[in-house]
């Protein structure tokens, strides 16, 4: 059982942990194996201990490793007797107890699965595993049966071909609506092959989601650029263009005419005089017209220039006019004030008095008004403050309530999430339970347990039977000894009475006495043999238990280890002595150097000097010396 669990453990930890085949129970574990198994168990229970699985060669290090192992076991809560000797000089019973404790303490598989189910990668792996498992559990079918279902997964036979579909949009103009109602084909009919339906729908959604916004931005940008260019064109550039067009057309016309003319002159057919005259007239007229046109054009340009100049002048004139109007207004006001002042100047003091009285009246009125205003204002301000306080308290309360609502909403969300997680876990666990092998021979185990219980009961019955027997026997013995005692006293009295008179009876009495004493001796001897037999049995048991602890082998090993330890200590003391001698030598040399002159000091090799200094200063133990 232990071996089995340890093998399982080794497999779980996926480490190179080979148990040789001859190891069949715990008693055949050697020390290395014990230590390694313990360290691995402890690593599994409490990762990050950093103990080495290999037993060190050095005795002291061995003891230390054993002691730390015992210490960690104690920290984990082991109650029994434990020390370095448990691991180094193993006895089967102790080891069994320790390993049972450790294996109970091992992290459970279920905890692991719970931990795993949280991480996304593990979930993904699980789903992959379940999908593969599903695939593996389906029986083989010939390919022409793969119409649908799991077998057909990943065997696409319809290419992804999508069609641009047109879908009626709500809230459009009447014409469009009418078109949609009467003429627009329903979406499935917009495609030639019905196989395009699903891809088209997917594309439609994706297009509506992704491409359109960028498109609109591009369009807006384009439109903006167009608009910014347009006004620049239309104002100045267009007019110039028009003019230039006009003139250039004229030019081309004239040039073509001039080209045409020589040809017509060169024509062999003789033209009439009139026609010639007409032609000449026409030519003159055209010339005139051209000059007129030219002059008109120049006139127009001049006029336009003038118009421009005039418009600018007009603008200037309007601005100046406005300014002057403003000035005029200001002057008029000043004039009014001055006129009044002149009027009042005629009888000055009276007017001054009047003015003063008017000023006073107005000030008193003002003060009155201010008082009244104060009267009205104070209660209003109070009211305003109260209202504001009320409002603020209300706002506070509402804010608190809002916060509470927010908190509640968050809580609700969390709870929903938790609920979903729990559901997921539940379904996972249900799936696992279904996955687990159903025919675990539980019945066999229970049967065996029942058998064992029956056996125990039988044994107990037998034991009680034996106990009853012994009690009966004890009783019988007691009654028999009582009867013996009584009959002996009766016989003793009878024979003793006759013994005075009869010689034979005296002899008989003597014999009886010897017989009685002999019998007593015999009984006591029998009892003694029984006791010794019991003792022997106890001792045998003790011997068995002691031999189970294989004290002999352990003792041998302990003595061997002790020898090794002694050797090591001897080596260490030798080293120590060596070191001491060297130190004393260095001290001597130092003393010697201190007494010598400085020149001598300089001659000495530097390295030696340095080393002696260092050794003297630091008082470092030599490397390799381990203190216990």
Are 168 and 180 in contact by the 8 Å Cβ rule? The answer is yes
* CA proximity to 84, closest of 100, 104, 68: 68
Hey, which residues between 110 and 149 contact other proteins (CB under 8 A)? 125-126, 128-130, 132-133, 136, 142-143, 146, 148-149
Q: Whole-number minimum distance, CB 16 to other proteins, in Å?
A: 19
> Which of positions 410-449 make contact with other proteins (CB under 8 A)?
none
Instruction: Specify the residue, 130 or 253, whose C-beta has the smaller distance to other proteins.
Output: 130
Out of 152, 362, 514, 611, name the contact with other proteins by CB under 8 A: 152
We find the least distance from the C-beta atom of residue 134 to other proteins, in angstroms, to be 9
Answer for which of 11, 114, 208, 533 binds other proteins (CB under 8 A) is 208
CA distance 225 to 230: 9
Residue of 10, 23, 163, 184 interacting with other proteins (CB under 8 A): 184
Query: Which residues are CB-contacts of 168 (< 8 A; sequence separation ≥ 6)?
Result: 177, 180, 184
What are the backbone angles phi and psi of residue 346, rounded to the nearest 5°? -60, -50
Q: Determine the size of the site formed for other proteins (CB under 8 A).
A: 46
Q: Given the complex with other proteins, which of 324 and 432 has the nearer CB atom? A: 432
303 binds other proteins per the rule CB under 8 A? no
DSSP character at residue 622: P
Sign of CA dihedral 123, 128, 129, 133: positive
Structure tokens at 498: 């006759």
* Distance set, CA 12 to CA 15, 23, 40, 148, 319 (Å): 8, 20, 11, 40, 99
Angle 256-260-264 from CA coordinates, rounded to 5°:
165
Judged by CB under 8 A, the residue of 10, 45, 93, 187 near other proteins is 187
Helix (H) or strand (E) holding 451: helix 442-499
> Which CB sits closer to other proteins, 83 or 199?
199
Assess 617 for contact with other proteins (CB under 8 A).
Answer: no
CA distances in angstroms from 427 to 128, 132, 413, 421, listed in the order given: 16, 19, 21, 10
Among 101, 204, 243, 488, binds other proteins (CB under 8 A): 204
What does the per-residue mask of binding to other proteins show for 154-183, with x meaning CB under 8 A?
xxxxxxx----x-xxxx------x--xx--
Tell me the CA distances in angstroms from 458 to 446, 448, 450, 461, 623, one per residue in order.
18, 15, 12, 5, 69
CB of 135 to other proteins, least distance (A): 8
Structure tokens at 246: 């006009």
Binding of residue 153 to other proteins (CB under 8 A)? yes
Quick one: which of 47, 48, 186, 349 contacts other proteins (CB under 8 A)?
186
Q: What does the alpha-carbon distance between residue 551 and residue 557 come to, in Å, rounded to a whole number?
A: 10
With contacts defined by CB under 8 A, name the span among 76-84, 194-202, 287-295, 392-400 that binds other proteins.
Answer: 194-202
* Residue 155 or 628 having the CB closest to other proteins: 155
- The residue range among 63-71, 199-207, 239-247, 555-563 that interacts with other proteins, by the rule CB under 8 A, is 199-207
C-alpha to C-alpha distance for 163 and 171, rounded to whole angstroms = 25
How near is the Cβ of 185 to other proteins at its closest, in Å? 8
Nearest-approach distance from CB 205 to other proteins, in angstroms = 5
State the residues that interact with other proteins by CB under 8 A.
125-126, 128-130, 132-133, 136, 142-143, 146, 148-149, 152-160, 165, 167-170, 177, 180-181, 184, 186-189, 194-195, 197-199, 201-202, 204-205, 208-209
């Amino acid at each position: 059982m232990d071996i089995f669990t340890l093998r399982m453990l080794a497999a779980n930890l996926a480490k190179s942990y080979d148990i040789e085949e001859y190891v069949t129970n715990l008693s055949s574990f050697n020390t290395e194996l014990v230590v390694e198994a313990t360290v691995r168990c402890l690593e599994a229970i409490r990762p990050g201990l950093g103990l080495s699985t290999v037993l060190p060669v050095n005795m002291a290090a061995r003891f230390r490793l054993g002691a730390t192992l015992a210490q960690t076991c104690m920290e984990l809560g082991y109650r029994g007797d434990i020390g370095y000797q448990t691991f180094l000089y193993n006895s089967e019973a102790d080891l069994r107890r320790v390993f049972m404790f450790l294996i109970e303490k091992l992290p459970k598989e279920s905890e692991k699965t719970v931990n795993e189910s949280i991480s996304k990668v593990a979930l993904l792996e699980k789903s992959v595993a379940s999908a593969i498992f599903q695939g593996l559990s389906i029986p083989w079918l010939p390919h022409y049966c793969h119409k649908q279902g799991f077998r057909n997964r990943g065997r696409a036979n319809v290419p992804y071909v999508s069609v641009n579909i047109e879908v009626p949009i709500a809230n459009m103009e009447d014409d469009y609506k009418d078109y949609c109602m009467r003429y627009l084909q329903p979406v499935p009919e917009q495609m030639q092959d019905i196989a395009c339906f699903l891809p088209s729908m997917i594309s439609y959604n994706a297009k509506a989601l992704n491409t359109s916004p960028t498109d609109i931005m591009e369009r807006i940008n384009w439109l903006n650029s167009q608009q910014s260019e347009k006004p620049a064109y239309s104002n100045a550039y267009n007019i110039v263009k028009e003019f230039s067009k006009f003139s250039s057309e004229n030019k081309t016309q004239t040039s073509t005419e001039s080209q045409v003319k020589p040809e017509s002159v060169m024509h062999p057919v003789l033209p009439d005089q009139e026609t010639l005259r007409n032609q000449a007239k026409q030519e003159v007229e055209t010339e005139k017209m051209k000059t007129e046109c030219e002059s008109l054009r120049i006139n127009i340009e001049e006029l336009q220039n003038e118009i421009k100049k005039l418009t600018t002048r007009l603008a200037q004139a309007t601005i100046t006019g406005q300014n002057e109007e403003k000035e005029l207004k200001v002057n008029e006001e000043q004039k009014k004030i001055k006129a009044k002042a002149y009027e009042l100047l005629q009888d000055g003091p009276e007017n001054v008095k009047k003015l003063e009285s008017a000023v006073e009246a107005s000030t008193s009125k003002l003060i009155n008004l201010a008082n009244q205003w104060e009267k009205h204002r104070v209660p209003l301000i109070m009211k305003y403050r109260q209202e504001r306080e009320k409002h603020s308290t209300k706002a506070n309360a509402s804010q608190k309530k809002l916060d509470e609502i927010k908190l509640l909403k968050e809580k609700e969300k969390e709870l929903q999430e938790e609920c979903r997680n729990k559901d997921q876990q539940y379904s996972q666990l249900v799936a696992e339970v279904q996955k687990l092998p159903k025919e675990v021979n539980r019945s066999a185990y229970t049967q065996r347990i029942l058998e064992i219980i029956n056996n125990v009961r039988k044994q107990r019955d037998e034991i009680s039977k034996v106990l009853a027997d012994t009690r009966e026997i004890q009783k019988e013995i007691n009654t028999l000894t009582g009867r013996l005692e009584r009959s002996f006293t009766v016989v003793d009295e009878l024979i003793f009475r006759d013994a005075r008179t009869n010689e034979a009876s005296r002899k008989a009495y003597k014999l009886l006495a010897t017989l009685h004493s002999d019998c007593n001796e015999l009984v006591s001897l029998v009892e003694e043999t029984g006791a010794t037999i019991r003792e022997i049995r106890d001792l045998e048991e003790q011997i068995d238990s002691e031999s189970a602890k294989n004290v002999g082998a352990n003792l041998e090993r302990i003595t061997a280890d002790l020898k090794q330890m002694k050797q090591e200590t001897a080596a260490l003391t030798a080293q120590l002595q060596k070191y001491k001698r060297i130190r004393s030598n260095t001290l001597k040399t130092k003393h010697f150097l201190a007494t010598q002159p400085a020149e001598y000091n300089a001659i000495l090799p530097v390295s030696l000097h340095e080393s002696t200094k260092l050794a003297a200063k630091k008082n470092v133990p030599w490397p390799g010396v381990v203190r216990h």
